[in-house]
Amino acid sequence: MREVEILASQAIGTIAAVLFDLDGTLIDTTALIFESYQHALRTELGTAFDPGALYVGYGQPLPASFRAILGGRGALPADGSADLLVDRLVRTYRAFNVEQHDRLARPFPGVREMLESLRARNVPVGLVTSKTREMALRGLDLMGLGGYFAVRVFMEDSTRHKPNPEPLWLALDRLGLRERLPEVVYVGDSIHDVAAGHAAGVRTAAALWGPFPESSLRELNPTYLLGTPLGVLGLLDRQAS
């Protein structure tokens, strides 16, 4: 896999800003998230799920995530008890996730270097995540990444969430770039990130260092595939050449 693979027919063009997802893109929380899912499922349902069944919910706010996971396995009750079950799963997930966060979260090699270079080049950088503000800030502080973002959009900041474009549009409004959508790149590791970027009208860069299989990301036809975090700088270098 090359550092940068261009899938769309358009040239690199001007890059006015780069927006990033958090989990699986800037911070390696894959083990934390999957262990939190399995702990909640074992605690509330008495069984763990096959890891492949968890991807359908990965990258969405937790209530939607658990609904997708349970629905994919035919385990979502059809009556009013579904809401209660999802609420229990979310509470159990969050308690475990908070307790285990600092032990299981890890840095991705090259992320800090990439963000430092973007700052040195005066490229506006934004964060758009479905994670709660509290836990996102905790992860950013743990990895020393909190000071790089001109805007930050958390789960609480929008009423609709990825793959809906609303969180991305909010970030672009705060950056004053809503009228320059084709000049913005959204970098994310999940299919929901790519779908949200397409819906928002920005260019999309699929981060292959995250947990999603490359084949599932290719199916959504992102603008770029990036093999490492430093691939973001490769886009800028090509823009300048």
| Same domain? 126 vs 52 | no
On average, the pLDDT of the chain sits at 93
**Candidate from 13-17, 90-94, 143-147 with smallest mean pLDDT:** 13-17
Domain-terminating residue out of 58, 81, 104? 104
| Same domain? 9 vs 112 | yes
Q: Are 205 and 235 in contact (CB under 8 A)?
A: yes
- CATH number for the domain including 13? 3.40.50.1000
Judge whether 21 counts as a catalytic residue: yes
pLDDT score, position 100: 98
Q: What's the predicted TM-score (pTM) here?
A: 0.92
Would the pLDDT of 226 be above 60? yes
CB atoms within 10 A of CB 170: 17
Q: Which residue, among 7, 16, 9, 15, has the nearest Cα to 224 in the 3D structure?
A: 7
Q: Are 157 and 128 in contact (CB under 8 A)?
A: no
Domain count, the chain: 2
Taking only the tens place, the pLDDT of each residue in 135-152 is 999 999 999 999 999 999
pLDDT score, position 57: 83
pLDDT score, position 10: 55
| Same domain? 192 vs 117 | yes
β-strands 27-28, 106-107 pairing? antiparallel
Q: Are 101 and 141 in contact (CB under 8 A)?
A: no
| Same domain? 35 vs 21 | no
Task: Summarize the confidence of residues 52-80 as an average pLDDT.
Answer: 89
Domain that includes residue 60, residue range: 30-104
Q: Which residue, among 72, 69, 15, 20, has the nearest Cα to 41 in the 3D structure?
A: 69
The arrangement of strands across the sheet holding 4-6 comes to: 4-6, 224-226, 203-207, 184-188, 17-20, 125-128, 151-153
Would the pLDDT of 209 be above 80? yes
Cβ within 8 Å of residue 202, ≥6 positions away: 19, 168, 172, 181, 182, 184, 185, 186
Sequence length of the chain is 241
Can you point out the beta strands (E) in the chain?
4-6, 17-20, 27-28, 106-107, 125-128, 151-153, 184-188, 203-207, 224-226
Would the pLDDT of 92 be above 70? yes
**Candidate from 2-11, 22-31, 81-90, 228-237 with smallest mean pLDDT:** 2-11
| Same domain? 76 vs 141 | no
| Same domain? 42 vs 12 | no
| Same domain? 168 vs 184 | yes
pLDDT score, position 58: 86
Tokens read off for 205 = 């860069």
Q: Are 12 and 232 in contact (CB under 8 A)?
A: no
| Same domain? 123 vs 13 | yes
| Same domain? 112 vs 88 | no
| Same domain? 120 vs 206 | yes
Would the pLDDT of 11 be above 60? no
Tokens read off for 119 = 């700052």
Domain-terminating residue out of 104, 123, 151? 104
Percent of the chain with pLDDT over 90: 83
Would the pLDDT of 9 be above 70? no
Would the pLDDT of 1 be above 70? no
Domain-terminating residue out of 48, 73, 104? 104
| Same domain? 18 vs 115 | yes
Confidence of residue 240 (pLDDT cuts 50, 70, 90): low
Taking only the tens place, the pLDDT of each residue in 158-202 is 999 999 999 999 999 999 999 999 999 999 999 999 999 999 999
pLDDT score, position 118: 97
Q: Which residue, among 173, 171, 169, 209, has the nearest Cα to 188 in the 3D structure?
A: 209
pLDDT score, position 2: 60
Which member of 21, 28, 189, 193 is catalytic? 21
Would the pLDDT of 128 be above 90? yes
Torsion on CA atoms 161, 65, 144, 166, rounded to nearest 10:
-10
pLDDT score, position 8: 64
| Same domain? 47 vs 89 | yes
